[in-house]
Chains A and B, each alone.
Chain A
Amino acid sequence: MSALGELRRLRSAKGGTTVASKAAKQEERAAYLFLLPWLAGLVLITAGPMAISFYISLTDYNLLQAPEFVGLQNYLDMLGDDRLQNSLRVTFVYVFVSVPIQLAAALAIAVLLNRGMKGLAFYRSVYYLPSLLGGSVAIAVLWRTLFGSDGIVNRGLAVLGVENAPSWVADPSTALGTLIILNVWTFGAPMVIFLAGLRQVPASLYEAASVDGAGRWRQFTRITLPVITPIIFFNVVLQIIHAFQAFTQAFIVSGGSGGPSDSTMFFTLYLYQTGFGNFQMGYASAMAWVLLIIIAAFTAINFWASRFWVFYDD
């Protein structure tokens, strides 16, 4: 809604005061033409449901009967909802632990698998394998056979002399940790994006650098990193958004419960249970808008900070 307001402000501010040159006008017309599909999608598919969901967040809506306007009640109810606050805590831990580790791993592996090694194509594919599994139900069974009480991890520990280790997936103090491992382990997507970014580094830069006698580490910090900062930035922004919305893995591994004892109850999982399980779509929508504000705030901070470390060529 605020975005619409801003749009209006921009429009009225421009209102005939600047005399646009012909070329600029042409460029503007071209821009809108290129944006046409996106604008159509925004109007027809995205904005409507978003606006409706905001309206629903101000109502009591059980999905089956017409929504009933209740003002800010849903938002106020969140303040006294312990399970919701717990789910926020779980989500924040997840975001702040798993995103940095995952991105560091993805970047390191991408650099390692970029060039100068035999069998690169094969290794890349192998490293992407876990990410292919995606939201497969098989993950639930796999995670149990890995981290269950008689899973492969505990069998390994037993060999090392650690007996009676707990079930990692079924203990509230470790269950979230296994999901963080799962997320780090599926670093394929950011890795591929880093790889694609590394492709854009002109080889001539490296050649010039090696003529200057720069070592590999210096080449990396002086050439590679600066050139791919836009891509690093993209991955940071998107992985944070993605992690805040984490749902599928917790949903599958915990069988939809967010258990044990709400220890893997992500914000979106609680939102889903509230909306579809308990038929409180009004409350769920209010939760979604709170999440949107949180994510938007983090994204805005990211964009602000990007001026200090992201280098564009334009």
Chain B
Amino acid sequence: MNTNFTRRRMLGTTLAGMAAASLAACGSGGSGDSGLGLSWYGGDPVHEAMKKLVELYAEKHPDADITTQYSAFADYWDKLATQTAGRSAPDVMRMSMSYLSDYADRGALADLSQYVGDTIDLGDQAPDVADSASLDGALYGVGQSSIALAAFVDRELIAQAGAPDVDESWTWDSFAAWAKDLGGSSGDLYGSMDQGGSFQLFEAYVREAGTEVFTDDGAGLAFDRAVLEQWWEYWHDMRAHRGAPPASVSAEVASFDTWPIAKGLTPVGFGFVQQIAFLQPYVDRPLDILTPPTTGGTSGLYVKSLDFWSIASTSSHQDEAAELVDFLVNDDEAITALGVVLGVPPSQRAIELLGLDPSTPEGKAVDYVSRISGSVPEAPPAWPVGYNELLTLFTKLNQDIGFEESSVADAVAAFFDAAEGALS
């Protein structure tokens, strides 16, 4: 009896010990001692361009030994989380704003401020872009791009539908009236893509009134329940009057080819401006870029970077890693080789270096960012821990409303409840 008891206790402590030893900081660092690990996410064009950059870097630094890893966006995060848990994250990694706080807050990323101005030159980047990855006074990543939300407009389709043309003076109200009109009169078109589930466009909407989505410390929501209620009511009404497609059409959206604007179901879509380059190949008619509607002319947009190069805190080659990061964002040849596959370049210098034809989708995106950079309000701080959970929930709740599985009021309540648990 006695022996059994101690044996059980021993088993208990051993297990806890094993778990703690393997999962907590066990110190030994980096992705092995050989070479510098570089990882990124993206599709085929990103892989192609990044490999070119690595070759370029190897030419200039013959002593550098870079090992690469790459996956598609979704797979990338499973792998990175596992590697980070196992203390073997790659030295340099592509980091998304959606996950930045998750990783930075929990000590997985190195503070790069010590390298700024020295190894890493951020002089060419606008302050909002250069600061995009700063949290509590530390800098956890160097921006790869400058990004803003935009409306994509298929003017030829609007003309074909016999609807009046649109311009940037549109307000949410005039946009709704116009969209419902177009949808109602055409019979097989809808006014706009459904954006009720877009947490990002909602952020712009919230910011028009001067508030932010999150409190400064990232521990809670800063906007009023009524604002979210208005937003979801707005899109519910749009769906009811063919201003936006019914939920079952929007639920088919997966890759860019399935966007209703790509399928010619609607002349208006929304997204991050560089997405026009992925969207345009699926649309026969040229797409234009406009600023999204506003309530009273005050823009809620911002220009910042949403993707970064970050360095693992466990890396044992942080100095070399910083050098590589500087190369990736500042080297002339690297900038040219990369083009716009990671989005609109993060600095005006890079944009000029590329000298894109303004009639191409990429050229239009670059022009848009340059054009609005000076006029939009200051960018909000980095998205807080728990952002990702709220992002997917936001989309799901808008879907629930669209499928009549939930009332707007219930969805708002569910969102605020979840936010309380997710943010901390």
Q: Which residues of A contact B (CB under 8 A)?
A: 4, 8, 12, 48, 51-52, 55-56, 61-67, 140, 144, 148-149, 166-167, 169-172, 255-257, 259-262, 273, 276-279
Contacts and interface: CB of A to CB of B under 8 A. Distances in A.
Contacts of B18: 48, 51-52
B392 interface: yes
A4 B23 CA distance: 24
Main secondary structure of the interface of B (DSSP, over half): helix
B15 A66 contact: no
Contacts of A52: 15, 18-19, 22-23
Given A260-B251, A277-B389, A66 B396 contact: no
B396 A259 contact: yes
A24 to B, nearest CB: 26
A150 to B, nearest CB: 9
Contact of A260 (B22, B81, B403): B403
B254 A255 contact: yes
A247 to B, nearest CB: 13
B23 A51 contact: no
Contact of A277 (B392, B395, B403): B392
B216 to A, nearest CB: 22
Contacts of A256: 74
6 contacts: A67-B24, A144-B252, A256-B74, A257-B395, A261-B403, A278-B386
B229 interface: no
Interface in B45-88: 74, 77-78, 81-82, 84-85
A257 B396 contact: yes
B375 to A, nearest CB: 35
A51 B106 CA distance: 25
Given A63-B85, A273-B392, A278-B386, A166 B15 contact: no
Given A51-B15, A171-B251, A172-B403, A64 B389 contact: no
A5 B133 CA distance: 51
Contacts of B219: none
Interface of B: 4, 7, 11, 15-16, 18-20, 22-25, 74, 77-78, 81-82, 84-85, 102-103, 106-108, 247-252, 254, 258, 386, 388-389, 392, 395-396, 399-400, 403, 405, 422
A65 to B, nearest CB: 5
Contact of B254 (A51, A140, A149, A171): A140
A124 B407 CA distance: 50
A221 B392 CA distance: 52
Nearest to A82: B414
B413 to A, nearest CB: 12
Contacts of B395: 257, 259
A171 B249 CA distance: 9
Nearest to A254: B254
B81 A63 contact: yes
A56 B291 CA distance: 47
Contacts of A64: 81, 84-85, 102-103, 106-108
Nearest to B257: A141
Contacts of A62: 102, 106
Contacts of B15: 51-52, 55
Contacts of A278: 386, 388-389, 422
Nearest to A169: B252
A148 B23 CA distance: 44
Contact of A149 (B82, B106, B249, B422): B249
Given A63-B81, A63-B85, A56 B11 contact: no
A260 B399 CA distance: 7
A56 B18 CA distance: 11
Nearest to B391: A277
A256 B392 CA distance: 11
Contacts of A171: 248, 251, 403
Given A67-B24, A261-B403, 6 more contacts: A66-B25, A144-B258, A261-B251, A261-B399, A278-B388, A279-B81
A145 to B, nearest CB: 11
Residue among B107, B248, B258, B392 with max Cβ neighbours from chain A (10 Å): B248
Contacts of B250: 170
B249 A260 contact: no
A148 B252 contact: yes
B78 A276 contact: yes
A-B residue pairs, 4 tightest by C-beta: A66-B24, A170-B251, A64-B106, A260-B251
A166 B251 CA distance: 12
A167 B260 CA distance: 14
Contacts of B77: 276-277
Contacts of A273: 392
Given A64-B85, A172-B405, A278-B389, A262 B251 contact: no
A137 to B, nearest CB: 9
Contacts of A257: 392, 395-396
A64 B107 CA distance: 8
Nearest to B398: A261
A61 B16 CA distance: 13
A265 to B, nearest CB: 9
